[in-house]
Structure 1
Amino acid sequence: MNRIPPLGDAEGLWQAVLAAAGGRCQCRGTCGTSHEKDGDRCKTVHGRYGRRHGAGPVRLLAAPADPNGLLLPAHRAAALTKRELAAWCPECHDATRRAASKARHAAAPADEPDSLFDL
C-alpha cells in the first residue's frame, strides 16, 4: 500500500499534540457526554481498542481545541499551531463538530422569510 507523505511537518505536529495529551482524548464533555466517571475527560487512548466490539484500535486526531474551530475550512485548520490543537477520538470529534454546527445554525438569523411569495 502506498502512503502519501504528510505535507510539511504535519506528522511531527500530530505527534507533538498526542504527546502533550498523553495519548488520550482531550474532550471534556463538549461531545455531549459528561465523562464524569473518567475524571471529566474522555478515557479513549490512542492505539487501544474502541468502545464498540470489533471497532479496532482507535486513532486519535489532532484537530482544533475550540469546538467552533472544528467548523473551519481544512486550509485554515491546517494553519493552526500546536497550542490551538487538541487530541480527539473520532467519536468525541464528530459529536462536538455536530453540536458546534447545530449551535451555529440556531444562532444564525434568518436571512429571508420562509415563504415562496411575498403577500
Structure 2
Amino acid sequence: MNDRTPPLGDTTGLWQAVISAAAGRCQCRGTCGKNHTKDGGRCPTVHGGYVRHGTGPVSLLAAAADPGGLLLPAHRAAALPKRELAAWCPACHDATRRTAAKAQQADGLAGPDALF
C-alpha cells in the first residue's frame, strides 16, 4: 500500500484529486481550534504519516472546505464539487465539525434537513 491509496469508494477519482491538490497534507488553517503556528499556519499531518508513536497511519478525508459545509447531510455533502472540498486529517475534521455545530446551535439555526 502506498501513501496515497484511495478509499474503496473513490470510483471517480475525486478523493485522489483533492488529496493531490493539497499535496497530501491536511489543509486546516486553525478552524479546529489549534493555530498551527509552529507549522506555518497549516496542520502538519500528512496522508500515510503518523501523528504519535504507536498510532496507525493517518488517512486524510476529502470533505467540505467550509466549516459550515461539514454539517451538511451526507447526500448533499456527496454532491459537492471538487472546488468546494479540502483535505482534512480526522482530528482537525472532527474538531472543526464540533465547533461549527456549537456555533450553529448558538445561533439557533437548525438546517432545513434537521427535521428529517
Instruction: Give the TM-score normalised by structure 2.
Output: 0.84
Instruction: Quote the residue 2:36 is aligned against.
Output: 35
The root-mean-square deviation of aligned C-alpha atoms, in Å, is: 1.6
Tell me the percent identity: 72
The 1-side partners of 2:89 and 2:10 are apart by 22
The 2-side partners of 1:5 and 1:107 are apart by 37
The 2-side partners of 1:5 and 1:26 are apart by 22
Aligned with 2:86: secondary structure?
strand
Mark the CA change 1:39 to 1:81 in structure 2 (over 3 Å): closer, same or farther.
same
Q: Does 1:14 find its partner at 2:15? A: yes
Instruction: Quote the residue 1:84 is aligned against.
Output: 84
After superposition, the C-alpha distances for 1:61-116 in whole angstroms (9 at most, x for unaligned) are: 0000000000000000000011000000000000000000000000117xxxxxxx
- Ranges in structure 2 where 5+ consecutive residues have no aligned partner: 1-6, 110-116
Mark the CA change 1:7 to 1:42 in structure 2 (over 3 Å): closer, same or farther.
closer
Alignment length, in residue pairs? 103
| Pairwise CA distance, 1:55 | 1.6
Name which one, 1 or 2, has greater alpha-carbon Rg: 1
Instruction: Give the TM-score normalised by structure 1.
Output: 0.82
Mark the CA change 1:7 to 1:34 in structure 2 (over 3 Å): closer, same or farther.
closer
Structure 1 stretches of 4+ with a deviation exceeding 3 A read: none
Instruction: Quote the residue 1:67 is aligned against.
Output: 67
What letter is aligned with 1:6? Answer: G
